[in-house]
Amino acid sequence: MSILHCGRFRLPLDRPLVMGIVNLTPDSFSGDGTGSDVDRAIRHARYQIDAGADMLDIGAESSRPGAIPTPEDEELRRLIPVLREIAAWGVPISVDTYKPVVMRTALEAGASMINDITALGHPDAISIVAASECGVCLMHMSGEPGTMQHAPQYDDVVREVREFLAERVARCREAGIADNRLVLDPGFGFGKTLEHNLALFRVLTAAGTDELPLLVGLSRKSMLGAITGRPVDQRGAASVAAALLGALKGAKILRVHDVAETKDALAVLAAIEQGVCNE
């Protein structure tokens, strides 16, 4: 069984972990963004923990298709007051950012993991992460949020995602970041059509490398809207189904909005597979 090192936390990966989303943007695609309302954000974080989240992913810049970048000072202004409060709760907190200054400040404020949609693509990012003990999620994205869904193209999406992630893992290793701190993510919806997403999902573990743990984030995404025909506020059931299928296909971390429902689905899976029950 592998163990993910996330700052002061050691997270056994013998069962899928649920990462609850805490969105601090005013323009979240899923409508759950708390904007600059610190108290509301803290309440939502508490709600996710009480629902059974193993960890939180907190982000202050939208990465939905078409999103306009958030200035660094605004990202910090939204993020840091909430992070300072929730980092004291004894639960691993991941921060969703690609900006080196935000990474450094977040790590100083108690973040245990960096979730980077650019896979530490900024030239200064790797050294900041390497100098800490934090976990890191390396995600694949083709293009950037503003334009990534304008006709994305691949010759072989699975091979190209795997090669990209393998290259990023190699850069991390060179910088001294140990494998037990790394999580990989094929980046569903980030510069990918529905067909690309489905192709990646079908062979999920083949998108990774060296058996490093995979994170899957499909919660409420447009891929589920395209499949079900439902608007974003009615994609809860599809999101739980996708998370469960991700777990069955080997994902070790599930990034979700609907924590309680996902935990229930995972409990059913554990009971059927291993006879593990709460009673």
* Site residues (vs ligand 9MG, CB under 6 A): 59, 63, 96, 115, 117, 137, 139, 185, 187-188, 215, 217, 255
Least spacing, CB of residue 224 vs ligand 9MG, in Å: 12
Least spacing, CB of residue 67 vs ligand 9MG, in Å: 10
Q: Is 187 or 191 the residue whose CB approaches ligand 9MG more closely?
A: 187
Residue 104 annotated as catalytic: no
Is 106 in contact with 112 (CB distance < 8 Å)? Answer: no
* Among 221, 235, 252, 263, the one annotated catalytic: 221
Q: Tell me which residue has tokens 């490398």.
A: 209
Q: Quick one: DSSP state of residue 256?
A: E
* Among 168, 220, 252, 255, the one annotated catalytic: 255
CB atoms within 10 A of CB 261: 16
Least spacing, CB of residue 116 vs ligand 9MG, in Å: 8
Least spacing, CB of residue 276 vs ligand 9MG, in Å: 27
Residue 192 annotated as catalytic: no
Looking at the DSSP bridge assignments, the partners of residue 22 are: 58
Q: Is 139 or 243 the residue whose CB approaches ligand 9MG more closely?
A: 139
Is 218 in contact with 186 (CB distance < 8 Å)? Answer: no
Q: Is 128 or 137 the residue whose CB approaches ligand 9MG more closely?
A: 137
User: How far is it, in rounded angstroms, from Cα 166 to Cα 32?
Assistant: 33
Q: Count of residues for the chain?
A: 279
Residue type, 13: L
Terminal CA-CA length for the chain: 25
Q: Is 121 or 267 the residue whose CB approaches ligand 9MG more closely?
A: 121
Least spacing, CB of residue 61 vs ligand 9MG, in Å: 9
Q: Is 6 or 117 the residue whose CB approaches ligand 9MG more closely?
A: 117
User: How far is it, in rounded angstroms, from Cα 169 to Cα 119?
Assistant: 9
Among all residues, whose Cβ is closest to ligand 9MG? Answer: 217
Is 20 in contact with 259 (CB distance < 8 Å)? Answer: yes
Is 130 in contact with 166 (CB distance < 8 Å)? Answer: no
Looking at the DSSP bridge assignments, the partners of residue 256 are: 20
* Active site residue ranges: 221, 255
